[in-house]
């Protein structure tokens, strides 16, 4: 009887491994304006021009299909018996503003609620409350622009621009100056912004989570963002 149970467990484990590697849905792709579905909104183009304050508008798009606003992470991990995996977690609970003055972005303030980070595994999400970024202790990540962004000219509708945003990123209770490469596109009354930034865990005092399921985790990950702004 014991032998039968061992065999059944082994078969079940093998079947799960096959499912995990080949049959389970793949994680969401990295952020990119090129892969972003067309922005649909009833928000008209601003009649008074682009200058002014724009706010993160979570009513644009959908978190479920990755067409709305979110902040998240991508981390390489090695799972027991299942091999390499890219862990992707995201939160739609993002707020903030950007300020445009002529052809310059003069201010950006973004806050993400990391307690609602969601990946494809609730066990991973639960561990991050106590380990790693410790969202139970450090619930928010924040970015504040420290240098204006010169756009060169006023963007035309449908035009994609590439810029660098220099500012202070606060994560795990520690703040560091960073430069975030961003892509932005104006679609009617919506500005869509995407970007990603490598995060070395040790730079923010983050200790890699440990679990019997996870054999190892990379020393760094990627912070990614996709934000939809409408004029306030």
Q: What is the CATH number of the domain that holds 72?
A: 2.40.128.110
Q: Which residues contact 4 (CB under 8 A, 6 or more apart)?
A: none
For residue 62, the model assigns a pLDDT of 93
Between 22 and 90, whose confidence is greater?
90
% of the chain at pLDDT higher than 90: 62
Per-residue pLDDT reduced to its tens digit, 164-195:
999 999 999 999 999 999 999 999 999 999 99
d(CA 26, CA 36): 17
In this model, does residue 7 exceed pLDDT 80?
A: no
In this model, does residue 201 exceed pLDDT 50?
A: yes
For residue 98, the model assigns a pLDDT of 98
Q: Cα separations (Å) of 221 from 40, 88, 133, 196, 224?
A: 31, 10, 12, 10, 10
Q: If you write DSSP's letter for every residue of 130-141 in order, what string do you get? A: HSTT-TTT--EE
* Number of domains comprising the chain: 1
At 124, is the secondary structure helix, strand, or coil?
helix
d(CA 37, CA 30): 14
Provide the domain limits for residue 100: 2-231
CA 197 and chain centroid, separation? 10
Per-residue pLDDT reduced to its tens digit, 114-128:
999 999 989 889 989
Strand-pair partners of 78: 84, 216
């Amino acid at each position: 009887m014991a032998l039968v149970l061992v065999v059944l467990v082994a078969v079940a484990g093998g079947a799960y491994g096959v499912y995990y590697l080949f049959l389970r849905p793949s994680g969401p792709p990295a952020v990119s304006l090129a892969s972003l579905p067309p922005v649909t909104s009833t928000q008209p183009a601003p009649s008074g021009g682009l200058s002014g304050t724009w706010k993160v508008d979570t009513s644009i798009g959908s978190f479920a299909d990755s067409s709305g606003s979110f902040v998240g992470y991508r981390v390489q991990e090695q799972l027991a018996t299942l091999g390499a995996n890219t862990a992707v977690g995201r939160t739609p609970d993002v707020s903030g503003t950007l300020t445009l003055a002529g052809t310059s972005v003069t201010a950006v303030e973004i806050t993400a609620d990391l307690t609602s980070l969601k990946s494809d595994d609730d066990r991973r999400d639960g561990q991050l409350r106590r380990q790693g970024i410790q969202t139970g202790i450090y619930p928010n990540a924040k970015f504040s622009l420290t240098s204006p962004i010169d756009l060169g000219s006023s963007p035309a509708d449908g035009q994609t621009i590439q810029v660098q945003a220099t500012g202070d990123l606060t994560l795990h209770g520690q703040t560091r100056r960073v430069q975030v490469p961003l892509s932005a596109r104006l679609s009617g009354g919506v500005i869509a912004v995407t970007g990603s930034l490598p995060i070395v865990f040790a730079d923010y005092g983050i200790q890699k989570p440990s679990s019997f399921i996870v054999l190892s985790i990379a020393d760094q990950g990627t912070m990614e963002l996709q934000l939809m702004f409408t004029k306030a």
